[in-house]
Amino acid sequence: MRERIPVAVLGATGMVGQWFVRLLSRHPWFELVAVAASERSAGKPYGKAVRWIFPEEVPEGVRELPVVPPEPGIPGKIVFSALPAAVAGQVEEGFARAGYVVSSNARSHRYDPDVPLLVAEVNPDHLELIELQRRNRGWKGFIVTGGNCSTVQLVLALEPLRRRFGVEAVVVTTMQALSGAGFSGVPGNAILDNVLPHIPGEEEKMAREPKKMWGKLTPEGIEETGVRISAHCHRVATRDGHLEAVSVKLSRPAAREEIVEALENFRGLPQELGLPSAPKQPIVVRSEPDRPQPRLDREVGGGMSVVVGRIRPCPVLDWRMEVLGHNTVRGAAGGAILNAELVVAKGLV
């Protein structure tokens, strides 16, 4: 690509927004030209408005960018949305109407029948919904959403098994990192020496989103799959990286070696196309009995791979395994950037 595409980040001062800024500051296709946040931050230079979470300095070139309100008219062809769901819905619609391509992390439009809920390796064909979306709404631009951080890694890890053996039912227990709760997150006094056995709305999202992601594309939208999912979600005191204990019921019998082989050799369209944020190996299998662990394994593939371990028979369903994914990279900013790369590669920008 000779000229980089100008892009903006909405919610740039938050937890996911800062990951967007970090990843985009060194992106070969995209140039970050605008940062937007709330009234609290608007008008200040980004470097002054943000409470920066990374050890390195705020990237040069972004530090002095003025924070603006998230309103159409700001520079950029693609906008990455890391806004809270309460505001994201209308704001994202405004941008799509005005002709921008919106790649969102918020849940506001995830279940709209004409909006792709995309994991780039899993359901790239769902990008065909964009045509329906534009027709339905009369927009020049469009919205593509990414899944909830705990759903994305689950669906990616199970995709090779779904394709080869079929997936009928899943029981998943999550241990979710603090960064998943946003910058203000969970009060220290609530989480230190503790595990919180409830994350509002999370179990419902985990049970619903895979049905759309694994759904069949039809002229009217997505026909959801009937897979049954039971999720138990917990907040734990890790910083980044959601660990999930997964039991899965397959449609056909599978041997352990076949499962390992299917996971390790899985490649999707982003790998075929060589997209800049696509990890070479989307799923990495560890054989040690005590892996994956959030602190040791979350950076694999630059945070874009999921790591699977402890693959063993399940006496209730068929197979058990541990799945780890970097929630703010693969499950949020990195995933949304990969989705946008796919949109560009498909000639939709």
Ligand X SMILES: NC(=O)c1ccc[n+]([C@@H]2O[C@H](COP(=O)([O-])OP(=O)(O)OC[C@H]3O[C@@H](n4cnc5c(N)ncnc54)[C@H](OP(=O)(O)O)[C@@H]3O)[C@@H](O)[C@H]2O)c1
Q: Which residues contribute to the site for ligand X (CB under 6 A)?
A: 11-17, 37-38, 40-41, 70, 82-85, 87-88, 105-106, 149, 179-180, 182-184, 327-328, 331-332
Least separation in angstroms between CB 298 and ligand X: 12
Least separation in angstroms between CB 82 and ligand X: 4
Under 8 Å between Cβ of 110 and 147 = yes
Q: Which residue is nearest to ligand X (CB)?
A: 14
Q: How far apart are CA 193 and CA 19, in angstroms?
A: 27
Q: How far apart are CA 259 and CA 319, in angstroms?
A: 9
Least separation in angstroms between CB 18 and ligand X: 8
* Long-range CB contact pairs, 85-89, < 8 A, 24+: 88/10, 88/11
Catalytic choice (27, 149, 233, 326): 149
| φ, ψ at 7 (rounded to 5°) | -135, 160
Tell me the one-letter amino acid at 262. A
- CB of 37 or CB of 243, closer to ligand X: 37
Least separation in angstroms between CB 165 and ligand X: 29
DSSP label at 265?
Answer: T
User: How many Cβ atoms are within 10 Å of 198's Cβ, its own excluded?
Assistant: 11
Catalytic choice (27, 109, 242, 326): 242
- CB of 183 or CB of 346, closer to ligand X: 183
- CB of 49 or CB of 259, closer to ligand X: 49
Cα-Cα-Cα-Cα dihedral sign, residues 125, 131, 134, 140: positive
Q: Which two tokens stand for residue 236?
A: 């734990």
Residue 149 a catalytic site member: yes
- CB of 16 or CB of 120, closer to ligand X: 16
Residue 242 a catalytic site member: yes
Q: What residues are labeled active site?
A: 149, 242
